Structure 1
Amino acid sequence: MSRVKLLDKEFELSIPEEKLLKAVDQVAEQMNVELADKNPLMVCVLNGSFMFASDLMKRLNFPCEISFVKLSSYAGTGSTGQVKELIGLNENLEGRTVVLLEDIVDTGLTIINTVDQVKQMGPEDVKVATMLFKPDACKRDVKLDYVGMEIPNDFIVGYGLDYDGYGRNLKDIYTVVE
């Protein structure tokens, strides 16, 4: 599909699945070297990063666990400026290497808030892996350890990202048509 309609907006294809999976491969290769002896806990930030986390986990060839945290900072096509924690972590993080798996880092607010919360739980190290990064939208000094790809500051859907709950199921990424 070159175009999709979700609710009241039209979106056009911008990143095909093949390109997304190549980016996941690159992140996995880097992690397979750097985290091989760390036994990390991968923390998937829901809802958006479920596809990235699933594809990534299948490519990791070292012992690791996965857990999930549900956060929200978006309404419609924009950030609310506040991070709402909906479901938290239950695992003991003391002394562990924790890798936060994000779908997208744009303003940086959500990931900085999440890293700060995780650090309070006593891990040895906290790393951040994001499928997508919007450098032009980033308003914070964010340390990203693993980045699938950098993208322009456009509103996108697909591959786990949504527009008011719709479009997460799309295997490709689509950009809003203004």
Structure 2
Amino acid sequence: MNEADCLHSQAEVDACIGRVAEEITAVLHDCNPVVFCVMNGGLIFAGQLLTRLNFPLEQSYLHATRYRNETRGGDLFWKAKPEVSFIDRDVLIVDDILDEGHTLMAIIDFCKHAGARNVHTAVLLDKQHERKADPSFKADFVGIECEDRYVFGYGMDYKGYWRNAAGIYAVKGM
């Protein structure tokens, strides 16, 4: 942690989560959505976001990863698939970061094939770079656009650690 740069303070992140909650509420307040937290990274963002969504919703989780405590992603690995029905439901997928987009796009496809009426996405961070799997793909709700560095905190980890950091940090040199 002593070797990291603080990119966004806890207060800045908290304000962004409030804004995202308002945007989601405006779109989904009368849709009876299923909100899926992508574990483990989306846990802190989803937990803070859900308390600000003042409308009926069903909450669940899924666990798909490409990183497995590494600093580079590999093939998508499903640790736990959702157990809630998506059929004719609006779905909101909540994740920590949109980096290259492989994981989030695979989860969206899974939801659509499982019968979701509409699939929406919310990410705390959208990393800005040219390596997106599909350059036209954008999350529906974004807290912060961040620079292309290896970030951690608020659910994002550095080699399995510091998901609990109260702020968004970047590893020096990465």
TM-score range, shorter chain: over 0.9
CA–CA distance in structure 2, aligned partners of residues 48 and 120 of structure 1: 24
2:46 aligned partner, one-letter code: A
Matched, 1:33 2:26: yes
Per-residue CA deviations over 1:29-68 (Å, capped at 9, x if unaligned) read: 0111111110101000010010100110011111011100
Gaps of 5+ in 1: none
Gaps of 5+ in 2: none
CA–CA distance in structure 1, aligned partners of residues 80 and 94 of structure 2: 15
Higher strand proportion: 1
Query: TM-score, length-normalised on structure 1?
Result: 0.91
Matched residue of 1:34: which SS? helix
Aligned length: 170
CA–CA distance in structure 2, aligned partners of residues 92 and 40 of structure 1: 11
Q: Quick one: which of 98, 111, 120 aligns to 2:104?
A: 111
Query: TM-score, length-normalised on structure 2?
Result: 0.94
Matched, 1:158 2:149: no
Matched, 1:124 2:117: yes
Matched, 1:77 2:71: yes
Does the Cα contact within 8 Å between 2:70 and 2:159 map onto a contact in 1?
A: yes
RMSD: 1.1
CA–CA distance in structure 1, aligned partners of residues 39 and 99 of structure 2: 16
1:71 aligned partner, one-letter code: A
Q: Quick one: which of 7, 15, 19 aligns to 2:8?
A: 15
1:69, CA displacement in angstroms? 0.4
In structure 2, the partner of 1:170 is 165
1:139, CA displacement in angstroms? 3.0
Which structure 1 residue ranges, 4+ long, deviate > 6 Å from structure 2? none
1:13, CA displacement in angstroms? 1.4
1:138, CA displacement in angstroms? 2.1
Matched, 1:48 2:51: no
Does the Cα contact within 8 Å between 2:98 and 2:139 map onto a contact in 1?
A: no
